[in-house]
Amino acid sequence: MKIGAPKEIFDGENRVAMTPESALQLIKLGHTCVIQAGAGAKAGFSDATYATAGVEVVPTAQALYDAADVVVKVRGPEAEEARLLKSGQTLISFFWPAQNPDLLAQIAGQGATAIAMDMVPRISRAQKMDALSSMANIAGYRAVIEAGNNFGRFFTGQVTAAGKVPPAKVLIVGAGVAGLAAIGTATSLGAIVLAFDVRPEVAEQIESMGANFVFLEFDASELPDGAATGGYAAPSSPAFAAKQLAKFRELAPEMDIVITTALIPGRPAPKLWTADMVAMMKPGSVVIDLAAERGGNCDLTVPDQKIVSDNGVTIVGYTDFPSRMAAQSSTLYSNNIRHMLADLTPKKDGVIAHNMDDDVIRGATVTHQGAVTYPPPPPKIAAIAAAKPKPKAVELTPVEKRAQEVAAFKTQTRNQVGLLAIGAILLLALGLVAPASFMQHFIVFVLAVFVGFQVIWNVSHSLHTPLMAITNAISSIIILGALMQIGSGSWLVMLLAALSIFMAGINIFGGFLVTRRMLAMFQKS
């Protein structure tokens, strides 16, 4: 089938849904590719580059829609683009079906199939098609670059002959994909980064990236359920929201840069950075609002504009952060499209098989065979499994705890005595039939096993991994046994014992060295 990418007509959109590299991969699936002339120019892909990759270049959008069986786009179709779709044709693009019911009905009425990249279910198998995450990652990175451009000072602290420069203090509100990308970029530039999210489980991710998690004190009843909306943060309760805003007011005077990323699917952006917080900030500070397209997290945000408040704070409300890095965005988005087409072409024979029993394809399909198929049924595999509540532990009195400890100690002692008695009986039975020389070596072996186990097995796993603990225990048994034999009168026995000590020593010290390197991977330098 022919896969076609038209030129985006949305004002300011620089991305393209097909790159020369992705076209080569689509050709391997058995498809042929066609692109409108100039479609990739703003992203740095010339028509000649497409032609070299084997893509047919057509002069107009009408010619492309007439030729293509599947049309791939970035932005959802405008009304005049939707009219060009024919019955049996497939459109793959961002769509936002909840906000565009009339467009849905129009495309369904024309008999075309529409696949919304913003509706791809957030399950493990669909991560390669998750265009929302791809674009959010770029938006978070670009937000920090844009903040640095408007901040006018260093991110990192410096001590120079001309004076001391303090590091910038950055607050990231929302630790989704965009927020984590912003955290990584800001910390790599040397800023002091604080991050907040209503989901306390992301605190570990934030701190692992070198940022400080902003904690709130709240009751469990005030906490929103982060799993309720497919992995996105859920709306906060009024009590939680009040504490959240109070914390932000406390932080506002100290922050140089604030980046807000909070969005809830199908809802306006929550107001998290109010006008009075902006008034508390220092002149020259910057607010980057990544939620500007949905109304903004900041009271003063003006979509698609950069404004300066009365007290000199710059507020950036651009809605096209991914488009400002068009080459990178187009590369990632076209890969998401390619993976979607790979799932639609299971036999790699260039034939689209639209399997509505597939969770991913069904979830993303919003119109099919003349019908509106939005909203989709919930996927068979939940996006995020709800954690089972742990049963509450029964509270014991001090007397009951003591009685429990004594009973456990008696049971442990009884088991140990029983094992020792059985071992002694077996050893005595073996001594009745085995020669004295064998028993001498056997007792040395048993003692080596026991001592090695007690010495090494009880070493804390914070010093090495559980697997390394086991290998070190075995190596210690070898060393202890060899030490008992190294004083033997036989030169062969002495040589073998020395080799055993040498090889086991390499294993133990090498194990600790490898473990140290493994642990260093998770430590901030």
Q: What residues are labeled active site?
A: 122, 127, 130, 133, 232
Read off the amino acid at residue 267.
R
Contact in structure between 87 and 107 (CB atoms under 8 Å): no
Token reading at 274: 């109010």
Q: What is the C-alpha separation between 416 and 434, in angstroms, rounded?
A: 26
Strands 314-316 and 70-72: unpaired
Among 49, 382, 104, residue whose Cα is nearest residue 229? 382
The backbone torsions φ and ψ at residue 349, rounded to the nearest 5 degrees and listed phi first, read: -115, 15
Q: What is the C-alpha separation between 313 and 281, in angstroms, rounded?
A: 7
The backbone torsions φ and ψ at residue 10, rounded to the nearest 5 degrees and listed phi first, read: -65, 135
Among 156, 165, 214, 161, residue whose Cα is nearest residue 188? 156
DSSP single-letter state for residue 196: E
Say how many C-beta atoms besides its own lie within 10 A of residue 163's C-beta.
Answer: 7
Residue owning tokens 């330098």: 525
What is 206-223 written as a DSSP string? HHHTT-EE------GGGS
Strands 306-308 and 365-368: unpaired
